[in-house]
Amino acid sequence: MQNTKLPKIPDSVKKPFSNICNILADFCKEKLNEEYFNLSVTLAAKLARKRPSPLLSGHTNTWAASIIHTLGLVNFLFDKTQSPHLTSKELCAWFDLGQNTISAKSKSIRDMFGIYQMDPNWCLPSKVIDNPYIWMVSFDGYIVDVRTAPYEMQLAALEAGVIPFIPNKLNPHE
């Protein structure tokens, strides 16, 4: 797996960041996909740029597992109806870490950045179309699911930068 454009991070954190990215690459190649890898590198970079960087303390393996756990919670990785799917037990076994360790670090990441389930900022690109938080838009005081709105409303929301693309027109995943 290769993230074509690695984000800029401070020199002081390059080594742990690189180690975490290598672990994430191996894990995503074996268990998940490139989408998860790219998003996990983005989250690792955000942790690396935080002052002081939490990546300078703790084990890289724990950080990598917790990054995957955080993104997994956002994108329903642990729901067996989703694809890709992974159980919490499988995640713990692959990283050889306990559930409490991974969950606690994942919670600290979520708290640090205000990450929540279905968070539009941490949604996998392939799941954007199904994430209602991205598509609920206020028009004249009414909340509208813009996916079902007339094209003119969709265009106005796109031009305002409120939605990432016009559903069924510019969706790169269809």
Per-residue pLDDT of the chain (174 residues; tens, 9 = 90+): 554 566 789 999 999 999 999 999 999 999 999 999 999 999 999 999 999 999 999 999 999 999 999 999 999 999 999 999 999 999 999 999 999 999 999 999 999 999 999 999 999 999 999 999 999 998 889 999 999 999 998 999 999 999 999 987 654 444
Strand partners, 142: 139
Q: List, for residues 43-71, the tens digit of each pLDDT value.
A: 999 999 999 999 999 999 999 999 999 99
Residue 86 shares a structural domain with residue 111: yes
Residue 40 shares a structural domain with residue 93: yes
Q: List, for residues 80-100, the tens digit of each pLDDT value.
A: 999 999 999 999 999 999 999
Alpha helices in the chain (DSSP H): 14-31, 34-49, 60-74, 88-95, 99-113, 132-135, 151-159
Looking at residue 138, its amino acid is: S
Residue 149 shares a structural domain with residue 110: no
Q: How many domains does the chain have?
A: 2
What range does the domain containing 84 cover?
11-117
CATH number of the structural domain spanning residue 69 = 1.10.472.10
pTM of the model: 0.87
